[in-house]
Amino acid sequence: MSEVPILKETTRSTGREALRNNITAAMALAGAVRSTLGPLGQDKLLIDDEGRTMVTNDGVTVLESAKVEHPVANMLINASTTQDRIARDGTTSAVLLSAELLQNAWELVLQGVHPSAIARGYRHAEEACRNHFEHLVIKATDDHMLAAATTSLSGKIHQAMQHHLAALAVQAAKAVVEQRPSGPLADPTRVKILTQTGGSMTDSALVTGLVLAKKRVSDRMPKQLPSGKIALVDGGLERKELMSNVKLNVSSTGVLESFRQKEKTVLLEQINHLVDLGVTLLACKEGIDDDLHAALTEAGIQAYRRVSRADLDLLARGTNATLNNDVKGLTAADVGVFIKSSNERWNGVMHWIVETEEGGATFIAKGSTNEAVGEVERCFADALGVACQLLEEPALLPGGGATQIALARHLRRFAEGFAGREQLAVEAFADALEIIPRTLAQNAGLDPLDTLLQTVAKQTTDGSPNAHFIGLNVEKKQPANMVEDGVVEPLRITRQVLAGATEAALSVLRIDDVLWAKQDPTVPELPEED
């Protein structure tokens, strides 16, 4: 019986060939973002299909904007995206480390080490790094928090803006932090970001409270309100429309007028219900009937219509109000409390500012062009994420590659306890960690190998309890105490980099068979002729 080729429409690569191709894709992806790492990293010019341009130094932005078809490259991009979502920084480091782990694994495979042994060694190495963090970590103070936020912006924007945005990010994080039984919670999504084109980047500012580009439905309504109660409606105050299949036959003009008066009476009853609840501020997702503006003004209610659902959610969290689909369904428990509501005109646009008891802030991102505003917005979001992390977990590590060098030194001593080939994998993991200080040196115009050896020697021979603080200061172009120089980063970032990069590398190592299904070119079907 002749063999039938089951996979005749599939291109297949197996064993070392598959692993080599996958690692080549990973190294190519890492090469695309390598030059962005560090304060002296270079920018990337991104151009989309429509010719729109973006200049950025953010690794995850570069990767997510690229059109990548290789599945292994997409796995590394997903690891970078996860790093950005969880830690808000370290995205480039995660890609570089995962690619270097794969490159070192390939060299071991060529020496005859099985991928399973490499995977076990990598797992042991990651666990050893996690356990060693407690010997490297320092408790974060307010000054350290500002330094960490500034470090997260290194190379992404000019130095004056780094300090400005970092200070605003720390201020915003403190405005939204909540004390809970399980510990402090700082949710960066509670900080709203508004963008305005015009002016300088340094004009970007932080406003305590929620700011919306909205104007009250009537200029006769109070422009400012002291503390009071707020109602949030996931609907509107409008006349109900008849169903499309309903017809209304009017026999006389009096009947039609009565029908309209009844509709208005129903709407006025809703306003009276708001007055009974003591509501002085109203925000609706949909419209508010024009005939009700006067009634709302007489009731002393400041009303806003067509407020987005996202903004209503922010208002609900800040005021402890509950969204309701219908005004009549509102109860006293659904009504929230605000401190102050005011209206101000900025650059010809009216803005509504609400100060709430539960805190909240709005960042106004400004710049001379849309590209500049976008970069300010991305940088602030990164710094805000770092500041929020440190409020939740005030633990820091020295930057400038100091932590990676200290971990690599520890792993080389740790590897001596393995009698099998896992020892080689642990040493390979240690070598991979040093890709961070080597890349920092390369992007600063220094010799990567010589600079790494100088920094390792300085950390090894220092002899002080804080020897692990010594890393590469790219501004001074020499090894220095990173904590004293204010170059620090949250523990959560480095911990997530290790976890994400290791998991991505192991996922690729476990692949020994790649099947590419062949796809014939398709021709669109033509419409049938009548």
What is the helix (H) or strand (E) element at residue 340, kind and residue range? strand 336-346
Class of domain 210-358: alpha beta
Q: Provide the sign of the torsion angle of the four alpha carbons 126, 131, 135, 139, taken in this order.
A: positive
Residues labelled catalytic: 58, 91-92, 382
DSSP, residue by residue, 448-494: HHHHHHHHHHHHHH--STTGGGEEEETTTTEEEETTTTT-EEEHHHH
**Structure tokens, 318:** 């800040």
Note the pLDDT of residue 4: 45
For the domain covering 10-138+397-447+491-517, report its CATH number: 1.10.560.10
Q: Rounded to whole angstroms, how far apart are CA atoms 401 and 467?
A: 13
Distance, CA of 455 to CA of 127 (rounded, Å) = 25
Residue type, 223: K
Q: Return the pLDDT at 14.
A: 76
Question: How do the domains of the chain map onto residue ranges?
Answer: 10-138+397-447+491-517, 210-358
Per the listing, tokens 């290791």 go with: 502
Establish whether domains 10-138+397-447+491-517 and 210-358 are of one fold: no
Q: Are 97 and 397 a contacting pair, CB within 8 Å? A: no
172: which DSSP letter?
A: H
- Going by C-alpha positions, the residue among 193, 210, 212 that lies closest to residue 304 is 212
Tokens of 343: 């209206």
pLDDT along the chain (530 residues), means of 10: 52 79 92 92 85 82 83 89 85 95 96 95 97 94 92 85 93 89 88 88 89 92 93 86 58 61 80 94 93 91 94 90 90 93 88 85 90 90 92 94 97 94 97 97 95 96 93 94 94 95 94 68 48
Torsion of the alpha carbons at 280, 281, 283 and 288, rounded to the nearest 10: 50
Strands (E), 250-311: 279-284, 302-304
Q: Is 367 helix (H, G, I), strand (E, B) or coil?
A: strand
